[in-house]
Amino acid sequence: MAANNVSAIKISHPAPHRGRIGLATLLFGISAAPAAWNVQLLFSVALSGRNCYPHANPLAAPLWNGLRPVLFAISLAAIVLAIIGGLVALRSWRKTFDESAGSAHHLLDRGEGRTRFMAMAGMLVSALFLIALAFGTAALCLVPLCGQ
In a domain, 132, yes or no: yes
Say if residues 84 and 91 touch (Cβ distance below 8 Å).
no
In a domain, 88, yes or no: yes
3-state secondary structure of 120: helix
Q: What is the mean pLDDT of residues 19-41?
A: 92
- Tens of pLDDT, residue by residue over 70-97, are 999 999 999 999 999 999 999 998 888 7
pLDDT band at 59 (very low <50, low <70, confident <90, very high): confident
> Nearest-CA neighbor of 117 among 100, 137, 139?
100
> Nearest-CA neighbor of 111 among 10, 8, 15, 9?
15
pLDDT score, position 17: 55
Say if residues 92 and 21 touch (Cβ distance below 8 Å).
yes
pLDDT band at 138 (very low <50, low <70, confident <90, very high): very high
> Nearest-CA neighbor of 98 among 16, 7, 29, 37?
16
Lowest-confidence range among 7-16, 69-78, 110-119? 7-16
State the residue range of the domain holding 119.
23-142
What's the number of domains the chain is made of? 1
pLDDT score, position 103: 55
Say if residues 113 and 15 touch (Cβ distance below 8 Å).
yes
In a domain, 92, yes or no: yes
| pLDDT at 105 > cutoff 60 | no
